[in-house]
Chain A
């Protein structure tokens, strides 16, 4: 299969997700290929936007003054952010494949990586909001995007992984459970790093 044919992953999935899902269901891509050619470029966006935004304007948490952090700390945080996103994508893809046997879905790892990439793409693009690092503004922009991503997850699983819609709904809900846990773990991990002295200066 010609690699170029996977470009629908990035583009068509944004405006014609159903067709992109159907095209993905016809192929069996190499997971490494998808990761290197497509996923990684999307994953770089949020840390990059965050680095640029925080270095220039500082994070606004609501109170008067923005939180300015030294550049080396910001680079460290952004690299950690990227690592976490890569880990998040891969772990979700592997967990999704692990769940597939329970829900009678396709176990092609390449399709799982591609599907999670499509689901996460709107969030990666919406992370442009990080350029204006105000927590509330980011939340306002990312919440509707997240709803769209969840819709893509529920819509995509039955088509891409070739399982009945009802079974797909159960599998998507199980994955949502995992993603919620992953999200809150990320929050907890960040807080632990802050209390250990990485990031903002806290009086703890």
Chain B
């Protein structure tokens, strides 16, 4: 048994994961900016295969999702699960293994993508040796996380841990099932699913990676760090639990809305539409819970630059979780599908929600981890406005581009022929792509400011030693 009174939290691994996450954010966003420039000036790949759009694009998405996103989620999960369980991390050496092994997977995986190794499944492009490595690290992540919960000193399992737990279990399930493949060489494999089944499994994975990683995991972050920053308990704990189960139940069905008007059965598409609309309820329940929690803690805004990020992230979360079900409707999807509107939608979630809530959490967490003030509150405030401006500009540019594309692609003349050629439509998108490039540069600029600010805050400092506090008997103590 762990002697609570003499044990301390393991926070060094949290700092390291945050550092890796920030590095990946800068790298992967830079790749994103380069990609958006390639869409304006296609020749800037200089004839190099590894600089081509097809290879850089998965590097951008994998770098953001698995480098920036998972490192942040792993770090914040390790931090919060200790505090909410009143015990240090279970198997801390395994936690360190997760930290470094994960970075190695992302780094080598990224290089393999540049080298042209790909399964060609979106967000699951990495080939089978990496899939196995991811599975091993992920299982270790699960052992550390659930091991900590199993040894907890407090009876209740706090809501953030339910969300982080669902992230670990569901991503493991999705990753293993979707990555099942027959290897033909060290660098190439073929999916065991064929045709429409492959598409359904792929989007069951793809949509729920968005659901459980970019929504569930980040809701875990929000449910722990927002009440912490606000210095208030969550507005309605009951609502958070109801939202959790409704979220888990409804999200898993929504994937086929990515496959409207395709060869998959129509009832599967219809089911996905219905479930996508139902999904709005748990999504907004969590948003309202967050907004109401912070609404009583407004004095904190005077001193805390981080809280602003989380407040605004909730507004974009509200937008993205409304826009998604709307785009799942067939009558909207027929125009929006395959257009840049989808790219805009993804980024309203990824920039407005995921990145902002992570930035807010990092600004809150890093100074506390090393026991100093943030290096520059002013830079953080500038970052806030850059992040907001970049996100808004990005979304609006893609709305304009997407709706124009959808309209032009489908426009027919009096005799029923297509009015415009695909090539003409795409070449006319250049101004929007230029606007998007500016938006990306603004957002990246803010992220670089944060990286500098956090680097200066951490520079030469070590994690503060925090003793595990005793559990208030009112909450129920596990022996």
Which residues in A have some Cβ–Cβ distance to B below 8 Å?
A: 61-65, 67, 102-103, 135-136, 139-140, 143, 146-147, 164, 166-167, 169-170, 173-174, 176-177, 180-181, 184-185, 187-188, 190-192, 194-196, 200-204
Contact = CB atoms under 8 A, between A and B. Distances in A.
Contact of B316 (A102, A180, A204): A180
B315 interface: yes
Given A67-B407, A166-B301, 16 more contacts: A62-B404, A62-B429, A136-B400, A143-B393, A143-B396, A166-B298, A176-B312, A177-B318, A184-B399, A185-B326, A188-B326, A201-B413, A203-B412, A203-B418, A204-B334, A204-B410
Nearest to A164: B298
Interface in B415-455: 416, 418-420, 424-425, 428-429, 431-432, 435
Q: Is the interface of B mostly helix, strand, loop or mixed?
A: helix
Nearest to B418: A203
A146 to B, nearest CB: 8
A102 B412 CA distance: 50
A195 B336 CA distance: 11
Nearest to B303: A166
B323 interface: yes
B407 A61 contact: yes
B315 A194 contact: no
B333 to A, nearest CB: 9
B152 to A, nearest CB: 34
A177 B327 CA distance: 18
Interface residues of B, number: 55
10 contacts: A62-B429, A139-B400, A167-B298, A173-B312, A174-B315, A177-B291, A188-B332, A194-B335, A194-B407, A202-B412
Contacts of A164: 298
B404 A61 contact: yes
B39 to A, nearest CB: 14
B185 interface: no
Interface of B: 287, 291-292, 294-295, 298-302, 308, 311-312, 314-316, 318-319, 322-323, 326-327, 329, 331-332, 334-336, 389, 392-393, 396-397, 399-400, 403-404, 406-408, 410-413, 416, 418-420, 424-425, 428-429, 431-432, 435
B407 A192 contact: no
A202 B420 contact: no
B411 A202 contact: yes
Nearest to A61: B404
A136 B315 contact: no
Contacts of A173: 311-312, 314-315
Nearest to A139: B400
A173 B287 CA distance: 13
B332 A63 contact: no
A181 B411 contact: no
B119 to A, nearest CB: 33
A136 B432 contact: yes
A180 B435 CA distance: 19
B415 to A, nearest CB: 11
A162 B342 CA distance: 40
A198 to B, nearest CB: 12
Contacts of B393: 143
Contact of A184 (B301, B319, B331, B424): B319
Contacts of B323: 184, 188
A64 B335 CA distance: 20
A180 B331 contact: no
A185 to B, nearest CB: 7
B31 to A, nearest CB: 25
B400 A195 contact: no
| For the complex of A and B, 6 pairs with smallest distance between CB atoms | A62-B428, A177-B315, A166-B301, A180-B319, A61-B404, A203-B412
A181 B295 contact: no
Contacts of B404: 61-62, 135
A191 B301 contact: no
A91 to B, nearest CB: 15
Contacts of B287: 177
A50 B287 CA distance: 36
B410 A63 contact: no
B318 A63 contact: no
A67 B420 CA distance: 11
Contacts of B400: 135-136, 139
A6 to B, nearest CB: 30
A191 B413 CA distance: 19
